Structure 1
Amino acid sequence: MTAISIIGAGPGGLTCARVLQRHGIPVTVYDADPGRDSRNQGGSLDLHDDNGQIALREAGLLDEFFALARAEGQEERGLAIDGRLVEHHVPAPGERTKPEIDRGQLRELLLDSLTPGTVRWGHALASTDGRHLRFTDGTAAEAELIIGADGAFSRVRAAVSPAVPRHTGVSFLEAWFDEVETRHADLSDLVGPGSAHAADGERGVFAQRNSGGHIRVYLMRQVPADWLDRAGLSIEDTSSVRAHVLKEFAAWSPRLRQMITDNDGPFVDRPIFALPVPHAWPRHPSITLLGDAAHLMPPLGVGVNLAMLDASDLALSIAGTATLSEAVQAYEATMRPRSTEIAKLLEGGAQQMLEPKP
């Protein structure tokens, strides 16, 4: 039996494992993916100097992060729907407040820092009672402490809390653009080295530079979670989805509408969910949660940062406390008020992303 088991090999779970191992504490991470390269890890994210970077310092990986991160990615552009630049933040020379890194690069950095064999791939959790882990392939394991780092629809959370994520009323439609300097030069110029955002009160776009000549665009719309079914559409039918969405953005300039007309490959539907605020659960001596499993919020730049800070705080509490039960209690006493305060500030934030720039 491993004393500590983490469910989920995302940034939070991997950060927790790394900090634990730096303190000589054995840990096993279980993840549903069949392998580390089995799927695309998503777009770019910014790691802030007051949370995510703190966690990476405790993980001993801050210098490696800065070697990979893109300081220029901190540039932000606010656009009107006619394409005019109305807001512009250019990072100062040497600014490291929140540099960008691809999610896949961050995950590789964390995975490579762990003892080989730490992560057990192909282990999708079916249920846990706080001691036993049962996986969907019929296998099982035991642990003295189970850490739920398994995201928005956490299976671990179900063992301690009845709360389920609710749709915020906003959904994203993700579009990818490759080789943008040559194949999508105008979009590359429009977005710049960081990100660009535009909205009209009912819908918006957020375009973000990734490494390797890629841009990801998120078309943000106030629609029900099942909008595709209601419209009689299939996400695989790119041309029909594109035609449907173009009607909604009819008043926008052609330069911005290229984010809908010119993408490479299919769209990805991403309904935005959040947990009730505040979210708490009765203290459990052998189960705790971190990141989205504990406090799922709208995607406004805090999710991964908070998950990694949770992970670092929890690992340090385990390393510095006499018993696992006391460590969990101390960690939750820090994590809960912090996450509740931020969640209250971001409540309704999904709709705020649709507000136009002044």
Structure 2
Amino acid sequence: MSAPQPIVIIGAGPSGLLLAKYLEQNEIPVVIYEGDPHANHRPQGGSLDLHDDTGLLALRQTYLLDEASKMMRAEGEAMKVVDKTGKIWLDENVPEEEQQVDTKRVDVGEIRGRPEIDRTDLRNLLIKSLSPKTIQWDHKITSVTALSTSLYEIRFIDKPTITTPYLIGADGAFSLVRPLLHDIKPDYSGCSMYELEILPSNLTSSLETYIGKGALMILDEGKALMPQMNSGKKCKIYLALKVPFNWQKENPLPEKGKREWLVNLFEGWLPQAKEIIMASEETSINQRKIYQFDPELTWNTDKTGVTVMGDAAHVMSPFAGEGVNQALADALLLGQTLVPLFRPKLELGKSSSPPFPLSFFPISQPTERPTPLVEPSTDDLHEALREFEIKMMKRAKVEMEGSKENMDMFFGDEPARHLAGMLKFYGRIGYLMEMLTWPIEKVKGLFR
């Protein structure tokens, strides 16, 4: 077999970057095409919590967890839930002895819980882990076309056209790669958002104390005001509304007085709502709609050598904190799918010097050596990618359903009470599950 062309990944988001890292550490050629001119062209959003069986696992498998842990903030997990009157339904920032639910963590020598990391820090870590020329910046795609069932053409603005038999779409909710597989588009979720930012210089001590160390959720009347602390005392604010698709277009932000306009949406709410919005930067306000796929989404295709992952495969609302975690899990799974195809193992053979006493007998011993890089067969590649998609969507379905249910709760009746109750319940379950992993002496210590 001939050596294969590089695997082409479209999009330098978390999933595309982590897949490239996994392939590189297995010495499989890969290239990422990204439309942004450089890594810092656009803000990457606030912080996210990494989950043990998805995001943290993916970082562990790519040998990046130790470096990532230096950027993580355990205190960023703290949640505070308030309604429009200012009633506090949950506050994990207060001393543990004052908590209604015991949420204390015990250090058993490894990362526990769901530590927070800034999206920008995570992305920069992934970028720096790659070879310098792996990411081709400033490659804005105009079209992706199937020349056959196993060869794809990618056209860029003012860049040479390329063709590839190996194409991975990590290009987000409005993926240009996905139509090669199916023509289903994500639906508007019913939620539109505004994103704001408070700079450290504008974050007063009283406001910082009120928000807490992690995220503050102020929920009521089909609206959510959600400030979230990031590293360096920056604070991202997410303002979410349950509104029709065209609402933001029909109610545009004014040229001047954007913050005052947003404050009016929360008239009659607790005074801190106005304080939070007015502390933000007038020029940092962005707006967007939230899209989601039906959790039952599946597809089949005759195309070979092409697939999608992350938001391109299963975009969901952000109300379960699973988007990036699922994307990283997708990338790890896809890497584990591709590596054996491009670098298969030799069959068992005779060992030249098996260990004593087996060296006295002429028997076969397992020897595992990587073969040279090979081009996988069309049939093997097709079967492997379809199996990957089935596993990916089966896993993502659970989180897509959970995200949708959480969004309905955020915009339903008494959302603060319901969210606090859910967090307290899962706090109890999480604490009990964590106890199962403790050494017996730690468990006994609880009853002394």
| TM superposition score normalised by structure 2 | 0.75
Looking at structure 2, the residues matched to 80 and 172 of structure 1 have their Cα atoms a distance apart, in angstroms, of: 19
- Percent sequence identity over aligned pairs: 34
Gaps of 5+ in 1: none
Partner of 1:347: 404
Write out per-residue CA displacement over residues 164-212 of structure 1, whole angstroms, 9 at most, x where no aligned residue: 22211111111110116x6432221111111110111311111110111
> 4+ residue runs of structure 1 moved beyond 4 angstroms?
none
Partner of 2:124: 108
Q: Which of 266, 272, 278 matches 2:296?
A: 278
Partner SS for 1:139: strand
Partner SS for 1:171: strand
Partner of 2:318: 299
The amino acid across from 2:49 in the alignment is D
* Aligned 8 A contact 1:51 1:309 in 2: yes
1:331 and 2:391 matched: no
Write out per-residue CA displacement over residues 309-335 of structure 1, whole angstroms, 9 at most, x where no aligned residue: 000000111112363334313312311
Distance 1:179 1:357, change over 3 A: same
Write out per-residue CA displacement over residues 257-305 of structure 1, whole angstroms, 9 at most, x where no aligned residue: 2122221233211211112332222233121010000000000200000
Gaps of 5+ in 2: 94-103, 345-375, 418-448
Distance 1:167 1:112, change over 3 A: same
Partner of 1:249: 266
Larger deviation, residues 347-356 vs 30-39:
347-356
Looking at structure 2, the residues matched to 214 and 186 of structure 1 have their Cα atoms a distance apart, in angstroms, of: 15
The amino acid across from 2:141 in the alignment is L
Partner of 2:278: 261
Structure 1 position 138, deviation (Å): 4.8
Partner SS for 2:235: strand
The amino acid across from 1:163 in the alignment is I
> Considering only CA atoms, is the larger Rg found in Structure 1 or Structure 2?
2
Structure 1 position 32, deviation (Å): 0.5
Partner of 2:48: 45
Distance 1:193 1:93, change over 3 A: farther
Matches within 5 A, 1:76-225: 76-89=79-92, 92=105, 94=107, 96-128=112-144, 129=146, 130-179=151-200, 183-225=203-245
Q: What is the aligned residue count?
A: 354
Looking at structure 2, the residues matched to 290 and 259 of structure 1 have their Cα atoms a distance apart, in angstroms, of: 36
* Aligned 8 A contact 1:168 1:348 in 2: no
* Aligned 8 A contact 1:124 1:136 in 2: yes
* Aligned 8 A contact 1:49 1:98 in 2: yes
Give the strand-richer structure, 1 or 2: 1
Write out per-residue CA displacement over residues 70-121 of structure 1, whole angstroms, 9 at most, x where no aligned residue: 1110111111223332212366254632111111110110011111100000
Structure 1 position 161, deviation (Å): 1.6
Partner SS for 1:98: coil
